[in-house]
Amino acid sequence: MVLHVMMGWFGGAVLRKVLLLSCVSCLLMLTGCMFPDERRAENQVPYETQLTSVQQAVDQYQSDHNVLPIRTKDQDTPIYQKYVVDFNELMPRYLQEPPGNSFENGGFYQYVLINPEDEPEVKVIDLRIMREIQELQRAVQSYISEHGFTPVKEPIGPNVYSIDMEKLDYHRDPQVESPYNDTYLPLIMDEHGNIFIDYSIDLNIFLREYDHSYRPGDDIRNILTEHSPIVPAYSVPYTIDENHEPVFKQKMEE
């Protein structure tokens, strides 16, 4: 009887120990799986710090070489995607490695420059918008190849159109998450079938939130870059009307 109880007690103790070790092992395995992505140390560095380090590297590079460390792009590349920082030019003298949140280091952001002719300023493109844009662009190009014209629904501005999703057999409205506010932005199209993001919602919010001196005819997109590290990639030019509401400009340009 005593022997049976002792065996039961020891057996329970061993079982508890095995269960405890199993839980610890599972926790360590989960932690190890998370570490390369969500918990990489360099991704925990404050966002402003990463921007500042790249800005300092770009400034010093330009001072030393009298040129900017950027990749060569076609002349007709949209302005906010045109001046991509070339980290190969900056390493290792000016930077040990690209920031942890950069595309080159497995992150979600592509580092770019704005105002390259005056005072180059480091900003980023949020690449998480790309998936929906690329998917819709492929669908539109396929439609054009088959039918010879774009799947236009109706004009919504000068050379800007909404997209007829029924013609593309889409069962949802294409949109991307705003990099500026807690909202979603629709996708639009030009006369050639190129896909853009409609930033009207964000622009309206920023125009109301921040002081500005814009007049009708001015390109107002830089209000987004003045108050955010993110550029409005894949955008068309906007201005304001007489009521200070954002509207598409009369001419498609950079």
The pLDDT score that the predictor gives to residue 193 is 96
One domain for residues 57 and 121:
yes
What integer is the mean pLDDT of 137-166? 95
Q: Which of 82, 104, 127 is the last residue of a domain?
A: 127
Q: Is the pLDDT of residue 145 over 90?
A: yes
Separation in Å, CA 54 to CA 68, 141, 187, 232:
12, 37, 31, 20
- Residue 172: pLDDT band (50, 70, 90) is confident
Q: Which of 127, 154, 176 is the last residue of a domain?
A: 127
One domain for residues 121 and 135:
no
Structural domain including 54 reads: 45-127
The pLDDT score that the predictor gives to residue 85 is 98
Peptide bond preceding 92 in cis form (omega within 30 of 0): yes
Is residue 219 one of the residues assigned to a domain?
A: yes
The pLDDT score that the predictor gives to residue 76 is 87
What integer is the mean pLDDT of 128-147? 95
Q: Is the pLDDT of residue 116 over 50?
A: yes
pLDDT tens for 194-239 read 999 999 999 999 999 999 999 999 999 999 999 999 999 999 999 9
The pLDDT score that the predictor gives to residue 40 is 52
Angle at 65 between CA 103 and CA 89, to 5 degrees: 25
One domain for residues 242 and 146:
yes
What integer is the mean pLDDT of 26-49? 49
Is residue 51 one of the residues assigned to a domain?
A: yes
What integer is the mean pLDDT of 231-249? 95
